[in-house]
Amino acid sequence: MARGDNVNQELSKILNELWQVDENRLKPGKDYIISLQGKAGYVAQGSNAARDRASAPLFSFVNEERFRSIKTYAYFIKLLDNYEMSTGVSETVTNEELKENHLFLDAILETKVMKRAQQYLVSKKQASADPKEFKKQLYDIWFRLYHRDRSGGEDSCGFEHVFVGETKYGKEIMGFHNWVQFYLQEKLNHVDYKGYKARDNKDTPDEDDHILNLQFSWKGLVKPVGSTFIGVSPEFEFALFTIVFLMSQEKVTKAVVKVDEYLVEFVVSRHGRSIGTSYPRMLSSNNR
């Protein structure tokens, strides 16, 4: 696919609207500082060894007090320890965890980002205007448990895969596309950032970019190539990926979109009526 070709103009329009109203997005250089360091090399999937091109953590500063004071982030963080790391191990949802899921959804549904997303989806006949119905739809897309590993029980859901991360047979990392989880795991020394990933100068990131392709290890396992937004709010990611998911019936949707200064490919895969995975992949930035 040639860069700039096949840009989905309609998706670009609504996603730029969401970008504009994301009041809880943190500002690079002010609310957080990242240290990109070296370019990561090739690592085979399933390998536990990767040359470390970054001696320091990715996040050199985060105003944690600020993001913990924002309701959507605070409720989001409470969800991150609710899951079994390995696929094949059935998930058990306690009443407390169920309550946390609902508190998070209630919080994001109050934001301008999710209200605009709902308006758009209602106009496209992909969602109900009834807030309770829309919340139930979001719950099914993101939190409904399903079988990812056929040898186990209900061992996964969209939220766990995308925002928390999980492992397959204890040999490889799956998902894990969220910057807040990355930062918190890095702080606990569970994550080791290995360097940024780039094919050429157009891909080469800078510290102000809100999307990063990267390599890292998590609890001893290496993710050869990962990708994540940096600094955006949880509600922005929920809104964006929900729209891409509902606007396509493809098993795997790859949408090239122009958001702010970035040319990005959004990848969303289905698992029945739920999200299997979703992530952004930086193609180029107007900065370069």
Q: Is 177 noted as a catalytic residue in this protein? A: yes
- Inter-residue contact 52 to 195 (CB < 8 Å): yes
Determine the pLDDT at residue 287.
55
Tell me which of 161, 197, 210, 258 is the catalytic residue.
161
The residue type found at 239 is A
> 49 phi and psi, to 5 degrees?
-120, 130
Q: Is 102 noted as a catalytic residue in this protein? A: no
What is the per-residue pLDDT across 50-77, written as a single tens digit (0 to 9) for each?
A: 788 999 999 999 999 999 999 999 999 9
59 CB contacts (<8 Å, ≥6 apart)?
32, 33, 34, 35, 182, 183, 186, 187
Q: Is 83 left (phi over 0), alpha (psi -120 to 50) or beta?
A: beta
Determine the pLDDT at residue 202.
64
> Which residue bears the tokens 């397959």?
168
* Local confidence pLDDT in tens for the 288 residues of the chain: 345 568 999 999 999 999 999 999 999 999 999 999 999 998 877 677 778 899 999 999 999 999 999 999 999 999 998 776 666 566 677 888 889 999 999 999 999 999 999 999 999 999 999 999 999 999 999 999 887 766 667 767 899 999 999 988 778 899 999 999 999 999 999 999 999 998 776 678 889 999 999 999 998 899 999 999 999 999 999 999 999 999 999 999 999 999 888 899 999 999 999 999 999 998 887 655
Determine the pLDDT at residue 1.
37
Count of residues in the chain: 288
What is the per-residue pLDDT across 98-121, written as a single tens digit (0 to 9) for each?
A: 899 999 999 999 999 999 999 999
Q: Is 161 noted as a catalytic residue in this protein? A: yes
> Which residue bears the tokens 């019936």?
249
Alpha carbon distance 110, 107 (integer Å)? 5
| Burial of 162 per CB tally in 10 Å (0-12, 13-18, 19+) | buried
Tell me which of 135, 197, 210, 223 is the catalytic residue.
223
Determine the pLDDT at residue 195.
96
Alpha carbon distance 177, 161 (integer Å)? 8
Q: What is the DSSP letter of 163?
A: I
Determine the pLDDT at residue 97.
85
Read off the tokens for 105.
Answer: 């959804």
Read off the tokens for 138.
Answer: 């979001």
Determine the pLDDT at residue 201.
67
Burial string for 106-123 (b: 16+ CB within 10 Å, else e) reads ebbbebbbbbbbbebbee
Determine the pLDDT at residue 284.
83
Alpha carbon distance 49, 51 (integer Å)? 7
